[in-house]
Amino acid sequence: MTDLTVTKVVAYIAEGPAPSDLAVTKVVKYIVIDTGSIGDPGSVPPARRRVRVTARAAYVPT
């Protein structure tokens, strides 16, 4: 047991994209649309107004 002994040797290679470049791997565009104010707490739809229509007819002698 006087000799230096090596029982296992492994080589590894680290890999990956070049670290020197700023990289973008996914891009998405979205559009926000407003389908209306259904249930919108800040925009209560106008209440239906009950409109009373009255008419007065008058007899106008001819």
Partner 1 sequence: MTGIVFAGGEIGAFVPADSDCVESVTSGRFDSARSRCAIRVYNISSYAESRAFASNLTTMFFHADWGIENADASEQTSVAFYDSGGTEVFRINRSGGTPATIKPYYWNGSSWVATGSTFTVSAPQLMTIDLKVVPASGWELYINGTLRDSASVVMSAFSNLSKVRLKGTYIGYNFWSQVIVSGTSTVGLRLVTDAISGAGNSNNWTSGTYADVDEQAYNDTDGLASATNNQVFLCAGSSPSLDGFTVRGVIVTARVRQGTLLNYQHAVRSNGANYFTASQAVSAGYGAFVGIWETDPDTTATWTGAAALAAQFGGKSIT
The answer to whether residue 14 forms part of the interface with partner 1 (CB under 8 A) is no
Q: Give the shortest CB-20-to-partner 1 separation in angstroms.
A: 5
User: What residues contact 31, with CB distance under 8 A and at least 6 apart?
Assistant: none
Site string for partner 1, 16-55 (x = CB under 8 A): -xxxxxxxxxxxxxxxxxxxxxxxxxxx------------
Q: Does 15 bind partner 1 (CB under 8 A)?
A: no
Dihedral sign for Cα atoms in the order 6, 10, 11, 13: negative
Residues 6 or more apart whose CB falls under 8 angstroms from that of 37 comprise: 43, 45
Contact set with partner 1 (CB under 8 A): 17-43
